[in-house]
């Protein structure tokens, strides 16, 4: 297992190099000039030259790339042009709120959707299966924005207007107990939105597993429902479950633009959105690279966990 983990970790290096080169080319070669995006078209030549020198864009491209990689390896990520603070501090401050409004929701809706998927697969074609699938489909059809608006209005704004106990409408406070009131409603919204998608996915993989010969044999020998679902089916669909849950974590953490902006939660998505609005080139480029790093690490972790569930993976 240690050899396999070391081999998978080593395989991350060329992947990260390829991703870093791609991100560098997008921002430094293909994309628009960030200096003019920040200063505007009416900037003077002196202002352009000064900002280009400040950002290190006056140096040759290979030098810019090597300096950027050095910043990532040392976590000395430079300064934000708009916020005037270290980007590393912005990232560390934003990762906590983003995790707080995504990981609890991920754990909740993953657990519920796995159970619902197993129930649908076992009683496939029954009224219960049809009702769960119909509910999941309706949940998938409702817009994310609509869910946020209705939840904020009916669960926060209206009760607050009538002096009833309610969720905070917007804001965030740091600290475990202080942040709880602010993250409950965003987590419930994330859970509601994702529950339908994951229920349909886990139902599909569980139905496929239920059709295998060993399940029919287990039923013929009188195995109970709990034994079939949780000892046989759940064990054998563990790999797609791990892949689904682990790989989606970085996308949820970094991609909560709407949720964080709607509830004014200073997470990574909120900070990145403001950086895009202010054309803050160093923040956009660095956050993009760090998010790509999280995705690569998540894929590696998913492979390692899958190998623990199914040792045959290490042999392939």
Integer Cα distance of 23 and 156 in angstroms: 40
Residue 164: left if φ>0, alpha if ψ -120 to 50, beta else—which one?
beta
> Which ranges in the chain are annotated with CATH 1.10.3720.10?
98-315
What SS3 state is found at 164? coil
- Does domain 98-315 sit in CATH 1.10.3720.10? yes
User: Chain-wide mean pLDDT for the chain?
Assistant: 83
**Does this model's pTM top 0.85?**
no
Tokens coding 291:
């998010």
pLDDT tens-digit map of 245-299? 888 887 777 667 788 888 889 888 888 888 888 878 888 888 888 888 888 888 8
Six-digit token string for 65: 């790339």
SS3 79: strand
Task: Give the start-end residues of each E strand in 177-312.
Answer: none
The pLDDT score that the predictor gives to residue 31 is: 60
Q: Which pLDDT band, with edges at 50, 70 and 90, does 160 fall under?
A: confident
List, for residues 26-74, the tens digit of each pLDDT value: 777 766 667 777 777 777 888 778 878 877 777 888 888 888 888 888 8
Q: Is the dihedral of CA 71, 75, 79, 82 positive or negative?
A: positive
Label residue 132 by pLDDT band (50, 70, 90).
very high
pLDDT surpasses 70 at 208: yes
Average pLDDT score over residue span 308-314: 68
Q: CA 106, CA 296: separation in Å to the nearest integer?
A: 19
């Amino acid at each position: 297992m240690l050899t396999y983990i070391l081999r998978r970790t080593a395989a991350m290096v060329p992947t990260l190099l390829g991703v870093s080169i791609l991100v560098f080319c997008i921002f430094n070669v293909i994309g628009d000039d960030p200096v003019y995006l920040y200063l505007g078209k009416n900037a003077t030549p002196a202002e352009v030259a000064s900002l280009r020198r400040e950002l290190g864009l006056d140096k040759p491209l290979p030098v810019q790339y090597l300096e950027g990689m050095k910043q990532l390896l040392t976590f000395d990520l430079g300064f934000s042009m708009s916020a005037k603070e270290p980007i590393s501090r912005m990232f560390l401050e934003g990762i906590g709120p983003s995790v707080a409004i995504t990981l609890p929701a991920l754990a909740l809706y993953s657990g519920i959707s796995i159970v619902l998927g197993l129930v649908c697969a076992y009683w496939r074609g029954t009224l219960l299966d049809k009702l769960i699938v119909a509910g999941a489909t309706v949940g998938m059809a409702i817009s994310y924005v609509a869910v946020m608006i209705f939840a904020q209005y009916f669960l926060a704004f209206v009760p607050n207007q009538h002096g009833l106990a309610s969720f905070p409408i917007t804001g965030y406070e740091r600290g475990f107990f202080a942040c709880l009131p602010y993250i409950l409603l965003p987590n419930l919204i994330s859970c509601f939105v994702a529950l339908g998608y994951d229920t349909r996915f886990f139902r599909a993989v569980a139905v496929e597993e239920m059709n295998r010969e060993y399940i029919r044999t287990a039923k013929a020998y009188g195995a109970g429902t709990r034994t079939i679902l949780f000892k046989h089916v759940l064990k054998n669909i563990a790999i797609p479950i791990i892949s689904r849950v682990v790989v989606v974590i970085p996308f949820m953490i970094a991609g909560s633009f709407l949720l964080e902006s709607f509830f004014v939660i200073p997470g990574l998505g909120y900070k990145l959105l403001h950086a895009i609005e202010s054309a803050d080139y160093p923040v956009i480029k660095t956050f993009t690279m760090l998010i790509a790093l999280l995705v690569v690490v998540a894929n590696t972790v998913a492979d390692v966990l899958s190998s623990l569930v199914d040792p045959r993976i290490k042999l392939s």
